Each structure stands twice: as structure tokens, then as C-alpha cells.
């Protein structure tokens, strides 16, 4: 049910911050199911056409998401570090994924609405408007998850439906 | 250079309609380069894991994009029709892609700002808020393009960089 507060928040804009957060977390739920669909012994080893395993791609997504949203919120950036110490464990990857979910929920609402149109130097090296940087985080996740769909199909596994969030 | 008009349009929102249009058309430029990267004799034949060829996926994207934006703009929806008569020609596919680019540029600015928060029954069957429907069009394109990256790599072809728009 839509409250007056929601109507006021969403008036005169394509998408409100809380809607963008829900949109991304919806995508992240699907990504989590895709990670789960991989056999543990294929997640960090299987690749096609010389490409990285999906486990390695997910490390990149995790390295970006939590620190990225915190950076957008308070302007604190460190260098991007994808070398997560997970011992190529599917269980640890999923645990870190869930921790990131909480980090995003914590920091996202702290990005002020005016911030999105400001230019930011993400991770000390990627200059763009904040909204473009945020969309990059989400789009990059969708891009790599699309690749994981091919990996799963090639492994004979049916991936979850794209429209299920 | 940012004008006062742009500042006024983007105030108090994550992303303005003209920025969303530019964001999507940026993605579509990249998608076009990915289509171009396929050898003509592989575009409609090559697949992995029993999946469709990228040419077939692009037909879906074309069937959605132009009619979808027109539908969001004026509420006129037909059933989704992916059976485009292209004779599996790369040249014809690219021509139709470019026509869709013009359709999007024509209809997108006609989507009123209030419309995005309204519920719509896209193509007579997919019910959602308009902003979710629009994001679905874009996300679905990114999803399938990610799959095309694997196809190209498996064919020994380096795809264009994801961040080049």
C-alpha cells in the first residue's frame, strides 16, 4: 500500500533513492541465487573462452559494492582491492555477499539526494557523476551475471529466471 | 558545460529523464559495437550451452525497445513480436537497430515525469511501475550483451570494453 510519504518522496522523479536501493538489492538477490547454482568445485575454476571464473567476477562485485556505496555516502575512498581472502570457498563467498548486503542497506540511505549529481573520484581513480558511478556498480553486476548464465548452461545447469528478483 | 536549465532539471533527483535517455543510448552504442564484432556467419548461428544465438537475442531487444518506449509515452501497446523479418542478415539487424535508436530518441522525451511512478501493463501482459519496466528494458539488454561477450571470447574475438559507451 502506498503511503502519502512514499508519494511525496517519489513525486517528480524517475526513481527515488529507496526505490533504487530496492532495485539493486533485487538484482543482488538474483545474483546470489546464481552463485548458489554453481557447484562449489566449479565456481572458482570453470570458465569459457579464456575468461575468469564466476567466483573471481563475484569477488570484483563485492570489492566494488560495499566500499563503493560507503564512498558515495561519505566521500571516503580506498584503492579497489579484489584480492579477497576466501580460499576459493563458495560458503565464504556467500557469507561475504550477505555482509555486503547489510553494508549497502546501511550506507545507501546516507547518500544525500544532492550528491547524485555531483562529480566523484570513485576508488581514487574513476571520475564521473555519482549517479553514473552507482549505475556502473549495478550494470557491471548484471553484465557479469549474464556471463554466469552461459557458464551455468554450459555446465548443464538451468539458471534462475532473469525476471525473478 | 552545465547550464542553469540542466541544474534545475536534475535538482532533487537521482537521474533526470534526459540523463536516463543518454545512459541507455550509451549502453545501446556499446551493444551495437558488440553486434558489429560478430562475424556475419556466426551472429545467427553460434551459441553455447544450448542457448540462442546473439542475433536472436538482439531481435528480442529490438522488439522491446522501440514499441516499449512508445508504449510508456502514449499508453499504446501491442503484443510483443520478436519474429522480425531480417533473413538473418547482420546488415539488416544493424539497420533496424539504428531505426530503433531514432524511435527511442523520438518517444523517450514524451514520457511525462509523473508517468514513471504509475503502474503500466507493458505489451498487454507485464504489470509493473513504469520506471521498473524501463529499467527492465535496459537491464535485459545488459544481461544478454554479457552473454554475447562469452560468445565472442569463445569465438576468439576480443569484445569492446564494457566501460566504453
Per-residue confidence of chain A (165 residues) as pLDDT tens digits? 455 555 556 668 999 999 999 999 999 999 999 999 999 999 999 999 999 999 999 999 999 999 999 999 999 999 999 989 898 999 999 999 999 999 999 999 999 999 999 999 999 999 999 999 999 999 999 999 999 999 999 999 999 998 877
A41-45: long-range contacts at Cβ-Cβ below 8 A with a sequence spacing of 24 or more? A42/A151, A42/A155, A43/A88, A43/A90, A43/A93, A44/A88, A44/A90
Q: Write down the architecture of domain A35-154 according to CATH.
A: Up-down Bundle (1.20)
B122 backbone dihedrals φ, ψ, rounded to 5°: -70, 135
Q: Tell me the Cα Rg of chain B.
A: 17
Sort A119 into a burial class: Cβ within 10 Å, 0-12 / 13-18 / 19+: exposed
Q: Is B25 on the interface with A (CB under 8 A)?
A: no
Of B10, B135, B147, the CB nearest to A150: B147
CATH code, residues B18-154: 1.20.120.450
Q: Is the ipTM of this complex over 0.90?
A: yes
Instruction: Give the DSSP letter string of B63-119.
Output: HHHHHHHHHHHH------------TT-HHHHHHHHHHHHHHHHHHGGGS-GGGGGSE
Q: Is B156 on the interface with A (CB under 8 A)?
A: yes
Q: Is B155 on the interface with A (CB under 8 A)?
A: yes
Predicted confidence (pLDDT) per residue in B3-43, tens digit: 555 555 666 899 999 999 999 999 999 999 999 999 999 99
DSSP label at residue B51? P
Beta-carbon separation of B51 and A150 below 8 A: yes
Of B13, B135, B155, the CB nearest to A23: B135
Q: Are B97 and B62 in contact (CB under 8 A)?
A: yes
Predicted confidence (pLDDT) per residue in B74-115, tens digit: 999 999 999 898 989 999 999 999 999 999 999 999 999 999
Question: What band does B55 get if pLDDT is binned at 50, 70 and 90?
Answer: very high
Amino acid at each position: 500500500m502506498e503511503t502519502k510519504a512514499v508519494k511525496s518522496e517519489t513525486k517528480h522523479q524517475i526513481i527515488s533513492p529507496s526505490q533504487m536501493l530496492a532495485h539493486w538489492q533485487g538484482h543482488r538477490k538474483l545474483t546470489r541465487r546464481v552463485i548458489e547454482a554453481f557447484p562449489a568445485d566449479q565456481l572458482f575454476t570453470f570458465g569459457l573462452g579464456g575468461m575468469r571464473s564466476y567466483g573471481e567476477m563475484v569477488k570484483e562485485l563485492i570489492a566494488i559494492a560495499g566500499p563503493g556505496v560507503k564512498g558515495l555516502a561519505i566521500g571516503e575512498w580506498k584503492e579497489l582491492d579484489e584480492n579477497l581472502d576466501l580460499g576459493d570457498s563458495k560458503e565464504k563467498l556467500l557469507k561475504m555477499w550477505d555482509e555486503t548486503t547489510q553494508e549497502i542497506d546501511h550506507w545507501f540511505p546516507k547518500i544525500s539526494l544532492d550528491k547524485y549529481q555531483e562529480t566523484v573520484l570513485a576508488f581514487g581513480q574513476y571520475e564521473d557523476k555519482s549517479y553514473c558511478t552507482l549505475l556502473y556498480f549495478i550494470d557491471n553486476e548484471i553484465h557479469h551475471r549474464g556471463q554466469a548464465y552461459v557458464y551455468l548452461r554450459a555446465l548443464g545447469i538451468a539458471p534462475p529466471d532473469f525476471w525473478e528478483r
